[in-house]
Amino acid sequence: MLLNQFLLLSAVLFSIGVYGVIARRNGVAILMSIELILNAVNINLVAFAAWRTDIAGQVFALFVIAVAAAEVGVGLAIVLAIYRNRRSVDLDELDLMKG
Amino acid sequence: MLASTMPLPGTDDPINVAQTIGFGVIAVVMVVSALRVVTTKNVVHAAMWLVLVLAGAAAQYVLLAAEFVAVTQVMVYIGAVVVLFLFGVMLTRARLGSDAELTRKNWYGAAFVGLILVGLLGFSLVDTFQDAKLPEDRQVSLAPDLPADATDAEVEAALEEPNVGSNTAAISDSLFTQYLVPLEVVAVLLTAALVGAIVIARRD
């Protein structure tokens, strides 16, 4: 198999994730788009690990999965705290820090 | 007759047809599901499409002979993260039906950014890794198991014969030797993040 096919798939997923982060308003939906981005990174890491027959890429993919799990936990806690205070998870309406 | 490998046009190297077709099918499913994740009007449906993307990624890891990462992907992402997302959706009482307010009105700006990004990334990747091929045998060779008092001749003999093991064994070897400190740091990070999440989400 070619290395490029994995890298291109990952580039497409990454761009879709970036689109989601910019275009979505719901906090939970934005966290899902961030997951898409992190998965694109993981496909890259594992593909390079296979290309170089070096295990380091797979180890780093595992670290990324662990950090992503931590990020989702904290992110959803923040979304819940926002919801409790504002009765909404619409990130467009969060303008408390606007000058 | 469908050979399992056939020559790539322009090169002499054979390419594995079955694996490439499998990759293509999974890749199409992943891209379509990812598009649905960022375009669907229902947050719960978005989480369900996300499951399909994550499962596709796990299948790609199996194709790349990264079976341990694939199993971790299924257990951590599909088993835990998606459940967490569904909890988040339900606790924030997002409208369970379709919700036209889920996407910004100026979404075409974001689409423009995404298209530019995919064009630039695609061009630079194709330009850099033109026809770099993945090795057919994607198992990582393990360090030979030798007693501490091995003679030079024994070491040379062990290095001669290919010592191919499973990638899972290689991962465990490197996690508990070379990457031991990062592993501990990730463990502390996870604990801190979970305690922090409880503190943030707790009612005062």
Which residues on A lie below 8 Å from B126 (Cβ)?
4, 8
Q: What is the pTM of this model?
A: 0.86
Q: Calculate helix-pair angle for A3-23, B17-39, nearest 10 degrees.
A: 0
Q: What's the first-to-final CA gap in chain A, in angstroms?
A: 53
Give the Cα separation of B49 and B54 in Å (integer).
Answer: 9
Give me the pLDDT at residue B11, please.
54
What are the pLDDT digits (tens) for B97-120?
A: 666 678 888 889 999 999 999 999
What are the pLDDT digits (tens) for B73-98?
A: 999 999 999 999 988 888 887 666 66
Give the Cα separation of B88 and B99 in Å (integer).
Answer: 16
Which residues on A lie below 8 Å from B9 (Cβ)?
none
Which residues on A lie below 8 Å from B38 (Cβ)?
16-17, 19-20, 23-24, 29, 33, 36
